[in-house]
Each structure stands twice: as C-alpha cells, then as structure tokens.
Structure 1
Amino acid sequence: MSVAEVSELNLALRKYFGYDQFRGDQESIINSILNKKNTFVIMPTGGGKSMCYQLPALISEGTAIIVSPLIALMKNQVDAIRNVSEDDSVAHVLNSSLSKTETKKVKEDIKSGKTKLLYVAPESLTKQANIDFFTSVEISFFAIDEAHCISEWGHDFRPEYRRLREIFQAISDVPIIALTATATPKVQQDIQKNLNMLDADVFKASFNRDNLYYEVRPKKNVEKEIIKYIRKRSGKSGIIYCLSRKKVEQLSEVLRVNGINALGYHAGMDASTRAKHQDAFLMEEVDVIVATIAFGMGIDKPDVRFVIHHDIPKSLESYYQETGRAGRDGGVGECVAFYAYKDIEKLEKFLQGKPVAEQEIGRQLLFEIVSYAETSICRRKYLLHYFGEEYDDSKCSEMCDNCRNPKEKTEGKDEVVKLLNAVIELKEMQRAGHICSFLNGEETTEIKSYKHNQLPHFASGKDHDKVFWNAVIRQSLVEGLISKDIESYGVIKMTQRGHDFIEKPRSFTLVKEHDYSNQDEDDDIVTGGGGMKDAFDDVLYQALLDLRKQISREKEIPPFVIFQEASLKDMSFQYPVTKEELTNIQGVGQGKARRYGAPFLNLIKEYVATNEIERPQDMVVKSLVNKSGLKVQLIQNIDRKLPLEDISSSQGKSMEEIVDEIEMIVNSGTRVNINYYINEILDEDNQEEIYDYFSEAETDDLDEAYDEFDGDYTEEELRLMRIKFMSEMAN
C-alpha cells in the first residue's frame, strides 16, 4: 500500500478509536483484509483482536458479517462500536433474541448502507431466509471471532461452526478473517483446513503475558483459602471460575456472607439477571464475579487483578483464555488455580457416553491440564510450549509459583536415556501412561498382551515410581527431546533432538514434581473452630477457664452453661475482640454472645494488647450452615410439636443426627423447647432428678452422668434432658 493509504489508515484509527498508533501486527492484519486476502489471527486475550476486523469494516464498502458464539459477547461488542460512531445503526446484532420488528429494522439499515458490522450467531447464518437476504446486499468480508470453536481439538468446539465455509460460499466470495485467542499448532491447522484457507496470511502474536503471575494450589479448604485471598486484596476486581452452576451460587453466597461484594453468573440465570450482574461488575458496583465459563468472553474490563479457578478447567486452552482476562491494562494479574485429581476424575466421567473419538480428545486435553498442574518447571515455559512457543524461563522473573519457590533438582541424564530407549523400543507407538508402566515394570494387561514385558528395557526404571517417570516425560517434551502426536491421541514420538541426545548424552536437570495424590478437597466452611488444629493459646485458655469459673460462682450456674470448653479453645485460637467476631466462634450464637460475651471479650482484648498478639482473623470465615433451610425447618417442626422420629425420617436422617443438630442449635444460643417430646418418654420425677444433676455438675460430660445414675437412664434420655437444661439455663 502507498504511504498515503497507510496514513489514511492511521487517520481512521485516530478518528474512530482515538489511538495514534497500532499495536503489534494490527496494521499488517488490517492491510491483509483490505487487500482481499484470507487472514488468520492468533492473538492472546487483551492483544487487540477486535480492532483487526472492526477498523477495516468501518472503512470498507458494504457490511462485514462477524460470526460470534455468545449473545452477551455480541451485545458487548456492538455497544463498544456504537460508542465510537455517531449513528447506532453502524453495528447490529442478528440473532434469536430479536423480535420481528427489530429484525426488519436491522435488515433495512444494512440495505441502506448504514450498517458496517453485523454480529450473527452461526445458527442464524444457517437459516435460508437470512442466506437469501445476504446474497442481495454487499458484504465486505466475513470475520469469525473465537475461531477455535471450529476445531474438534479446540476447547469450546461447536459443531455448527464446521458448516461456516459452505454458508460463506453460498453468500459471497469475499475474504475471511478468522481470529482466536488460543490455538495450539494442531487447532490452527484444523481451522485453516476446515475453512479452506490454507493460503491465508497467518499472524501469530506471542502468547506470553509477562504481567500475569501463575500459581497452582492444592485444593484443601478451598473456600476458606479464597476468602483469605480476597480479603487481602480488598476492593480489587476479580473473577472466580467454577465448573457447575450450583457451585457458583453456593460460593457467591458464602462470599457475600463474609462481607465480600460478589455476584454469580451462569447460563441458568435469565438474560436480564446475567446482564445486570455483568454490568454491575463492569461498572465496579461489585468487586468479584463467581462464574461458569459462560462469563468473560470478550468482556473488556482492563483492571481485573485476579482470576481464581475454584475447579481446574477442561483444557489448557480454556485455562489460558480465562486467566487472560486478568491484567489487560498491563498491571499485574494473579492467576490462582486450585487443583485436586478428584476434579479430573469428575471431568473424565462427563466424557462417558460420548463418541470414542471425542472421549479420546477429551482425555488428551485433560492429560495436558494435569501435566500443567503437577509440573514443577516454570509454568510460563510449560504453557507457551503447549502453544508451540519456546521460552527462556530465566525471563519469568519469579512470576510463577515454581520459579518463586523452586523445587528440588537432580541430575537426570541417565533417566532421560532410559526413557528415550523405551520410546524407541516400543516403536514410538505408545502413550505416556503405557511408557511409565513399562519403565516401572508394571505388568498391565496391555503390556502382557503386547508381550512388552519380554523386551530388554522392560522394568529398566523400576527404582522410580510412575509419578517420577511422568515427570521425566513432561520435562523431555518441553525440552523437545520427544514429541506428542496429537493425531493419534498423544502417542510419544522421538525428535531429531532426542536421537542426538541418545548419541551424545549431556547433563539434564530434572525438577521434582508436585505430588497432589494425598490432597482431598475439604470444602466445608469453618465457623472459627475448624482451623484450630489444637494450636490454641494455652495461657489464654487457662485465663478464660478461670473467668468462666468465677462467673459460674457469681451466677450460681454450672461453668459449661456459660461457654463450653470447645468454645474457649476456639477463642484461644481466634482471639475475638468484638461481639461479631465472637459469634464466629464454635458454639457461640448471638444470644450467648450478648448474654455472656462482654467479660470474655474484655479479657481477650487486654491479653492481645499486652502480648502484642497478631490475630489470625483471616482464618475466620462465616458459615452458611446457620442460614440453612434445614435448620429453620427443624425448629419449625419442633414448634409444631412433631415427634423427633417423624422429623428425622422426613429429613432422611437418623435420630442421633437430629439430636446432634438440636444440640448444636442450643449450644450456639438459640432456645429450643422439646418438653413435649421429653414428657412422652420421662415422667416428672425422672426429669427433675436429671435436671438437678446438671444444675450442680462441674461438667456436662454424658459418661459421667451415665455413671452417676448407674445406667438408670439411656444416653439419649440424658442428652435430651441436657438440651432442655442448656436451653433454659444458658439461653
């Protein structure tokens, strides 16, 4: 193009978007489209992909058709374009959400030449009426946003995307621009082949986002960890991704209960609620969005400071795209994923019942995300290798947890040679799991049927376990000594570099992998005591015991009526200094905090100040248990004087579980009247005898009570009387 034309492009950039210069390859990409060439753009989230088709559309004759997968995404893009133009007709959406009148208006604007960008869903393009209409108007070019949806190997495959080429051909012979934020070499090839654009100008930007920090944490007490994490970043914007709608709703409520300004977002919500929640996040009326993957595609919020994955996603492409929503303004974005292998097993179950080829692809994608989570080498290096990019990990500058806290390293030259020999001996026809079993000497059914247990290198690595050999395979892949044949679902092949290594072995540093095998997800929110682990302050605990004894003498009630020992231990761990903090303590409700709290809080305050205690307040998170419908239902049923046996069967619980729950309610300070039930099983004299015992006892221990009455009363009868006593005396 001439200098005059280039300057016109810059003028258009200034006119419509207010920028003086293009970023990266944007100018070359736009020129490619203006020169009527098929164009393929692979550019990470936040790299300025949208500009690559928006600007040429605005300055070309006719209307550009942009295929986009989500209605929310289209709305977002149309609003953005209308903001840079004087006429709202410049951009429109054509999808199932429009009324007949709205659809008619869109078509009129296209005919009159006002509309430069038309966003359509692939389903709308397939309708014959729309195809007939598009053939009657001038089309400037076709753009396919989120083009990875075309590929079966892409993380968000949509079958309807596979038909786009034939539809384009039926409409008009104009250039195509395909754009994606995530494409492995395999996905890139698949897209080009399907769209019949192997001749396209390909522009691939670096996938390295050096302002993003990557970390994987074991999935233990995950909700508590997330609350601690967000509290330390108060007022910052963040997104939390969950795999299920149920988890989105539960987690967003837990966050709100704990004072975090959060809303949920998932496809099960009606469109107006989703739009309202999305706008609240964009307008900074809410700090955190808890969402399924339905949220975020094309959301242009530059200052997202953290992206948390409560559940590990289905593929590394998904992970990369979702984390890419952090730090678009160039500031640091923290990407934290919680990982437990249990989640991978759940995702594998979802693959059952799908066609075999789809299952194989799904498993291969899961294997990659497991490898990323468990690797101890630089996470950035691993991620970029996956997208076909080499990276010098010395440049990571501790922007991932593995570079910040390096794991133990050992010399692995001999082990790598063993691995490469095994790959060759197995004729480069096996996947990672089989090779690990072969080296480890495990006689699996597959190994025996292939008679691989009779080969010379079988069990040559039996001094190491399969976790170790998996690590060797991953690290050899990243170093390019072996490759993974995607076409055959992950079969390990030799590379020339690997053959050279066998010929002339050199030093090879192996990094010890993370081992998450003993991690169990524990998603229970604790009300203080859950995090105690017996690490309470014994000096404070003794002081609280003395105070309790003193108050019990003054009020002439047993000490356990005031606060139970478990509650005092929890206070000695949490150091509560306000009434609100006291209600987070195990077994302390609002009633009990009001009635007995003040002297205990005064003692703790003074103790904390005198001893300069750093309180672990970030450990205290409120539970949803106290708000549960079942608790309310239980109290209502007791108020209606239903027999406890009937209540237990209606809630699908044992009698013991129901008594446990009543006990918890009473111990936390709520009065519950079960006299109607006790009157049925114990006469007045028996009740009085047991009541008098608890009035004078030093402890509420049931074993001691049982011994005192020589077994005259059952444990259940004693427990019910203790509930009656505590309810009347303590609350």
Structure 2
Amino acid sequence: MKEAQLLSTLKEYFGYDTFRPLQKKIIDAVFAGEDNLVIMPTGGGKSICYQLPAILLPGITLVVSPLIALMKDQVDGLTANGIPAAFLNSSQSSLEHQDIFTRVEAGELKLLYVAPESLQIIDRLLVPENLSLIAIDEAHCISSWGHDFRPAYTQLGYLKNRFPSTPVIALTATADKATRKDIAQQLNIPGANKHIASFDRKNLSLEVRQGIKKFEQILNFVKTRKNESGIIYCLSRKSTEEIAARLKAKGIKAEAYHAGLGHEERIKIQDDFINDRQQVICATIAFGMGIDKSNIRWVIHHNMPKNLEGYYQEIGRAGRDGLPSQTLLFHSYADVVQLQKFAANAKNEQVQLAKLERMKQYSEAVTCRRKILLNYFGELKQEDCGNCDICKNPPQFFDGTLIAQKALSCIYRLKGGEPITIVIDVLRGAKNEGVLEKNYQKVKTYGVGAEISWRDWQQYLIQLINLGFIEIAFHHHNHLRLTTLAKQVLFENQKVKLAKVPEKILSTPAETAEKEEKASTLFEKLRQLRLRIAREEDIPAYHIFSDATLREMEKERPMTDEDFMQISGVGKKKMQDYGYQFIKEIIAFSKKKRSGKKTKKSNTYKETQQLFQEGLGVEEIAQKRGLASTTIYSHLAKLYSDGEISNLEKLIDRQDLEAVKKAKKQLDDPETLKPYYEHFQEALDYGTIRLALAVLEKEDS
C-alpha cells in the first residue's frame, strides 16, 4: 500500500496528518499479510493500527473485544467518522442480530466488533474470502499471566487455525515478557512481529502516600486544582458513591461511575466529563477504556491496584496531550489484604498474588518509581527520572555494591531457578529443608550474607529488582533471574547505591492492645461474634478481623458505616461482609453502657432525623450534612427501629420491599446484608436492603 494513500486515509477518516511512532510500520506489516503483536501504552494509538487497514482492505475486519461499553464506544466513534461498523453481543435481540448478519452478507460493514462469547453466533458467516483481518483487542485477557485473565479468550486460538491466510493483530496496552510470549502461543501466532512502544510517559509525575485520612488528602489535592479534570479510581462501587457524595458536599463537581448505574446515566456522566461539565469522576477501573479525553490532568488511586499492568494502564489516562500531569496512589495494608482475598481460589491465584506482591513492592519502594515501572515492562533504564516522589525526596543511600554482587552471584549460581525466599536462605546460610534437600549448602555463595537479617535482605533484593538488575519470572514459579544489566555489576565494576532499610515501626494501637491485660466486655462480645462467623464460613477467626482491630472497635465504638470504615483493619470488602453485624453488636452494647459519646451520637442522629422530617431524601441529607449516603441509610434504619421516625416506606419502592421480603424467606433470614446483595446480583444497593429490613422487622414485631 502506497504511503500517500495511507496518509490520505488517515487524514480523511481520523483527522491526523502523520502517523505516531510504530503505527506506519505495523500497518505496513498488516498489508503484507503478517501477524503482529502490538504492545502500546494507553493513548498511544493502537486502534488505528487495525482500523485504518480495515477501511482499505477488501473484506471485513473482525475485532474481538471484551467489554460491551468499549465496543459501543469504538463503533460510535467509527460511525461518526463515516466508517461502517457494528458490534454484536449476547445482550442484543435476535432481530438486531439478524440485521447485522444481513449487513455482513451484503458486504456493507468494514469492522465487526464481537465479544469472545459471541463468536459462535457469527461462525457460519465467516469465510476466508471475506475475512481480511482479525484483531484481538485487550489481548492480555487470553493469558493467565496477564493482569485481567478472561477464560472466554482462551478459545480464540482456533481463529488462526481456521483462517491461516488471514493476518492476526493482537493489541494490548500492558504485557510483561511472560504475557507477551503466552499471547503469541495461545493465538497460534508464534512468529508474529512484536512491536513494543516506549512505556516512558515523562509528563506523568508519580507519587505514593500512606492511606491515612485519605479523603482529607484527596480534598486538599482537588481544591488546589479547581479547573482541572481528574479521575479517582476505587475498588468498589460503594467507594465511588461515598467519595463523590462527600466531594459534592464540599462544592466540587464530582460524580460516581460504575457498572451498577443505568446505561443512560453512565452515558450522561461520561459525556459531561468528556465535555468538561464535570470535573471529577470517582470510578471503578472500567471507566476510561476507549475514552480519548486528552486533558485529564491527574489520576488518584484511592485503593491500591492489584498489579502494575492495571496501575500503569489507569495512570496512562492522564496527560494524553503530553502536558505535565500528576498521579497519586494511596497505599495501605488493608488494601493488600483485601486484594489477597480477591485473588484467593482464582485459577491463576499464584500469578495474581505474585503480581500483587510486585505492586506492593512498587508502593513501598525507595528507588525511582519510573525506573521500576519501565524495568517491569522490559524497558531497562538506569538514570533516575527526577519526576517522582522518591527522586524529589530521596532516602539515605550507601554503597551497596558488595551486597549487590553477593545477591547477583547467588542468583547466578542457583541458575535463576529459585524464588526470593530460597535465595535469601542461601545467602544467610540457612539449614532448612528447602536448602539442604537441593544441596545448596555446597554453593559458593552459601552463607556469604549471614550478617544481614532476613528482612533486610528482602528489602535489598526488592531494590535490585526495582533497579532492573533482577527480574521475576512469573511464568516460572516466580524465580529470580538476572537481567542484562547484572553483568555490569558482576564483571564491569559498576557501583550500586542502595537505600538504608528504615527501622520497623510498630503500630501503636496494636502494641497498646497487646499490652492491655484487662478484658473488656465489649471486646469479648465482638470476639464471640467473630468466632461465630468464622465457624459459619469455615475460616480462621483472624482472617475476619485481628484482635488489634477489635480493640480499636472497642475503643472508638463506631456506629455508622463511615465511622466503621475508619477502623484500622476494616477494608471495603470486610465492611460489606461483616460491618452490619459488628455495628449492630456495638449499638446493642452501647444502649446498656451509655458513655460520654452519647450526646455526640444522639446529636448526629437528631440532625438526620430533623432533615428527614423536613422532607429531604437520602442524597439531599447526605449532601447537606457532608456525610456518605450509606451513613444516612444507617441513621434512618436505626431511627426507624427506635420509633423516632415513621414513613420510612416512602424511601423504598413497594416492589423492592416485597422482593426483600421474599428473599428474607428464601435465604432463611440471614444476619448479614451480603447474602441479600448477592441474591439480587447487585441490583439492589446495601442502603435500600438495610431500610427494607428495618421496615420488615417492625412489621413482624
């Protein structure tokens, strides 16, 4: 294909005068009939690599995409550009399917977007004569080593077998070495050209903070950026709503965005944000895929992402225009525990846990964060970036060359065949089974680092990984292996600076709790409740809440969702799973033992009561009081149960009330809200369920 024709098509349909780096090379390879694997960061222009050829190729281009919202966004954009395109998925009616089939058979479409689950629906229509190109978008989904593995993607390998002469182009924004190799193998394109764009987004500043008083920090951050658009990413839908409500109460234009909202509502919020009518979007990770808003000036992660791939993809939605933009990540142990729970029992559990550990290491790093990110994706850098919090406020460093040489030499002598735990044991001269059964006590580096503690060795090895001298082979049981940079330290006398490992600071509340000898009655009640739940769920009691967390509950007496979430050790998931029961226990105990907190608690309920009696709705009360809507739901349920308010039914649709009543019987009246939430498949929120149960309890009494 002549370059002049490519450029004129690029200008006509996409409005660009020139190609971005790699685009022209990829497009040429497509026209040459070759298979391609494209790794290009968010906003790098991946879509044009298959959309432009689709316009000029004679037949149809099949695009496999994982999200309905993403497919629609792409098709809407193509249609707006005058390119005939459609998407097909299982949510459409048979009439809609038939219309698409007719258009395919008539040769009217240039691109057809299909969810992997829907491929069988169009199987009969696909013939070699009219299928010009196969594009696999979000290709990392096919790999269990990827950050967003989806089993439905694993069937896609048959496409190349069935259409061997049709070129395949697989595209993703983030994939490490293991994932790239796996994608090519599973799609049956082992000889595919690999096009890997630079991951270095120099305009993005990187910062990590401790997850303490997060809302206050977010509020201060946003207040100083009143005219700038930004995204706050959260793990749960509930978090998005709570943060958006609190920001709105402070006069900031913010909205929550998640899959639980109606289609029209999501479209409106998205459009308002794209068109700068809305400043802040508090969203789950689905927001931003396929949205090309170039002037997002900042991205905040309210919770720690589950891996570096997802984190990189999400921060990449800031500063697409190349202007300076900021990213802020809040790191907390509670998030780590929650994400570990999410990963448990997954098919690729060990991979997910290993990648989560890498994410944790990034968050706790004492070396340049950009180097860590780039090294993770195989783009080895040695110079510091100067645009991350570590570079701007560096820790104390020392000459760690000898330590580095010992570590790298040990990994070399273990032939890159062991994970970090065994490497440390060999360095320290451990005499455990893992070392002795493989005769590692005979390795020359056995015991060369015996004077350094296990914890310090762990930190030094993490630093060496972050510096790019070592890599983790996720696809080989997380073994540590040397990179090409390692030989400079081992054989070329390169000096290595390591950061001093800070002294471990014990948590004061936990330490105090452990020293307390006198058992509290409330503590005992909470402990017994925890034990009952643990037996019901067949899990250790400490997996629910630690003793230190129960001690803090005993001290703070949280009686609302908002207050309960402030307790150390309470994450979003645990709030949803257990919060209702523990708050109920604390309220019941406090009725018997009125303390000095009575006036404060009574006053906050009275304020809610007064506003409700004035006719305000839940969201209006929440906004007026600067509280989360879930807290207001909690207030109203308690006020109604205590006989302080009536007419609570006006806040609940009668059909919802009847549905909860029916579910209550079917579920045998469970004590927690979670079974109801799961029963309704998230169609009813926790607040509505809570109010409905309060009404039903009064009716029963």
TM-score normalised by structure 2 residue count: 0.71
In structure 2, how many angstroms separate the alpha carbons of the residues matched to 1:142 and 1:307?
33
Residue of structure 1 equivalent to 2:392: 404
One of 87, 90, 95 as aligned partner of 1:101: 95
In structure 2, how many angstroms separate the alpha carbons of the residues matched to 1:33 and 1:641?
68
One of 9, 15, 18 as aligned partner of 2:15: 18
Residue of structure 1 equivalent to 2:369: 379
Whether 2:243 is the aligned partner of 1:251: answer: yes
* 1:364–1:489 contact (8 Å) kept in structure 2: no
Whether 2:182 is the aligned partner of 1:190: answer: yes
Whether 2:39 is the aligned partner of 1:42: answer: yes
* 1:216–1:338 contact (8 Å) kept in structure 2: yes
Residue of structure 2 equivalent to 1:118: 112
Letter in structure 1 aligned against 2:5: E
1:548-697 correspondence to structure 2 within 5 Å? 622-624=626-628, 628-639=632-643
CA positional deviation for 1:510: 0.8
* 1:41–1:177 contact (8 Å) kept in structure 2: yes
Residue of structure 2 equivalent to 1:292: 284
In structure 1, how many angstroms separate the alpha carbons of the residues matched to 2:147 and 2:114?
21
Letter in structure 2 aligned against 1:120: V
CA positional deviation for 1:450: 6.4
CA positional deviation for 1:414: 2.2
Q: Aligned with 1:49: secondary structure?
A: coil
Closer/same/farther in 2, CA of residues 516 and 63 from structure 1, 3 Å limit: farther
Residue of structure 2 equivalent to 1:336: 328
Whether 2:466 is the aligned partner of 1:475: answer: no
Whether 2:73 is the aligned partner of 1:59: answer: no
Letter in structure 1 aligned against 2:6: L
Residue of structure 2 equivalent to 1:130: 122
CA positional deviation for 1:19: 1.7
In structure 2, how many angstroms separate the alpha carbons of the residues matched to 1:202 and 1:496?
20
In structure 2, how many angstroms separate the alpha carbons of the residues matched to 1:427 and 1:37?
36
The superposition leaves residues 696-731 of structure 1 with CA deviations (integer Å, 9 ceiling, x where unpaired) of xxxxxxxxxxxxxxxxxxxxxxxxxxxxxxxxxxxx
In structure 1, how many angstroms separate the alpha carbons of the residues matched to 2:502 and 2:70?
37
Residue of structure 1 equivalent to 2:355: 365
1:354-503 correspondence to structure 2 within 5 Å? 354-355=346-347, 358-394=348-384, 396=385, 398-423=386-411, 428-437=416-425, 439=427, 446=434, 460-461=448-449, 463-494=451-482, 498=486, 501-502=489-490
Residue of structure 2 equivalent to 1:725: none
Q: CA RMSD in A?
A: 3.9
1:26-37 correspondence to structure 2 within 5 Å? 26-37=23-34
Closer/same/farther in 2, CA of residues 492 and 130 from structure 1, 3 Å limit: same
CA positional deviation for 1:631: 2.5
CA positional deviation for 1:471: 3.0
Residue of structure 2 equivalent to 1:238: 230
Q: Aligned with 1:393: secondary structure?
A: coil
In structure 2, how many angstroms separate the alpha carbons of the residues matched to 1:295 and 1:517?
37
In structure 1, how many angstroms separate the alpha carbons of the residues matched to 2:78 and 2:217?
40
CA positional deviation for 1:354: 3.3
1:169-318 correspondence to structure 2 within 5 Å? 169-170=161-162, 173-318=165-310
CA positional deviation for 1:197: 1.6
Closer/same/farther in 2, CA of residues 132 and 213 from structure 1, 3 Å limit: same
Compare 320-329 and 98-107 and name the one that shifted more: 98-107
Show structure 1 runs of 4+ deviating over 6 A.
441-445, 448-456, 514-517, 519-527, 586-591
Closer/same/farther in 2, CA of residues 361 and 20 from structure 1, 3 Å limit: same
In structure 2, how many angstroms separate the alpha carbons of the residues matched to 1:222 and 1:146?
32
Which runs of no fewer than 5 residues in structure 1 stay unpaired?
531-564, 567-582, 592-620, 643-649, 653-731
In structure 1, how many angstroms separate the alpha carbons of the residues matched to 2:280 and 2:313?
18
* 2:66–2:116 contact (8 Å) kept in structure 1: yes
Letter in structure 2 aligned against 1:189: K
CA positional deviation for 1:77: 0.6
Q: Aligned with 2:256: secondary structure?
A: strand
The superposition leaves residues 524-564 of structure 1 with CA deviations (integer Å, 9 ceiling, x where unpaired) of 9999xx9xxxxxxxxxxxxxxxxxxxxxxxxxxxxxxxxxx
One of 351, 359, 362 as aligned partner of 2:343: 351
In structure 2, how many angstroms separate the alpha carbons of the residues matched to 1:142 and 1:97?
23
Compare 296-305 and 464-473 and name the one that shifted more: 464-473
CA positional deviation for 1:169: 3.5
Letter in structure 1 aligned against 2:172: T
Sequence identity of aligned pairs in percent?
36
* 2:459–2:501 contact (8 Å) kept in structure 1: yes
The superposition leaves residues 389-415 of structure 1 with CA deviations (integer Å, 9 ceiling, x where unpaired) of 022434x2x321111111111111222
The superposition leaves residues 595-644 of structure 1 with CA deviations (integer Å, 9 ceiling, x where unpaired) of xxxxxxxxxxxxxxxxxxxxxxxxxx9433895233334444555599xx
TM-score normalised by structure 1 residue count: 0.69
Residue of structure 2 equivalent to 1:9: 6
Closer/same/farther in 2, CA of residues 427 and 97 from structure 1, 3 Å limit: closer
In structure 2, how many angstroms separate the alpha carbons of the residues matched to 1:295 and 1:516?
38
In structure 2, how many angstroms separate the alpha carbons of the residues matched to 1:318 and 1:473?
24
The superposition leaves residues 340-397 of structure 1 with CA deviations (integer Å, 9 ceiling, x where unpaired) of 1332222222233334xx2221122112111211112111111000000022434x2x
Which runs of no fewer than 5 residues in structure 2 stay unpaired?
510-548, 567-595, 609-624, 647-669, 673-701
* 2:401–2:489 contact (8 Å) kept in structure 1: no
In structure 2, how many angstroms separate the alpha carbons of the residues matched to 1:517 and 1:188?
40
In structure 2, how many angstroms separate the alpha carbons of the residues matched to 1:626 and 1:488?
45
Q: Aligned with 1:330: secondary structure?
A: coil
* 2:367–2:466 contact (8 Å) kept in structure 1: no
Q: Aligned with 2:126: secondary structure?
A: helix
Q: Aligned with 2:148: secondary structure?
A: coil
One of 62, 69, 73 as aligned partner of 2:70: 73
In structure 2, how many angstroms separate the alpha carbons of the residues matched to 1:298 and 1:308?
19
Closer/same/farther in 2, CA of residues 516 and 361 from structure 1, 3 Å limit: farther
In structure 2, how many angstroms separate the alpha carbons of the residues matched to 1:142 and 1:384?
30
In structure 2, how many angstroms separate the alpha carbons of the residues matched to 1:245 and 1:445?
46
Letter in structure 1 aligned against 2:633: G
CA positional deviation for 1:124: 0.9
In structure 2, how many angstroms separate the alpha carbons of the residues matched to 1:221 and 1:405?
22
* 2:375–2:467 contact (8 Å) kept in structure 1: no
CA positional deviation for 1:480: 4.8
In structure 1, how many angstroms separate the alpha carbons of the residues matched to 2:501 and 2:277?
42
Residue of structure 2 equivalent to 1:507: 495
In structure 2, how many angstroms separate the alpha carbons of the residues matched to 1:318 and 1:233?
25
In structure 2, how many angstroms separate the alpha carbons of the residues matched to 1:169 and 1:422?
44
* 2:230–2:298 contact (8 Å) kept in structure 1: yes
Letter in structure 2 aligned against 1:109: R
Letter in structure 2 aligned against 1:29: I
CA positional deviation for 1:84: 1.3
Closer/same/farther in 2, CA of residues 434 and 227 from structure 1, 3 Å limit: farther
In structure 2, how many angstroms separate the alpha carbons of the residues matched to 1:134 and 1:493?
44
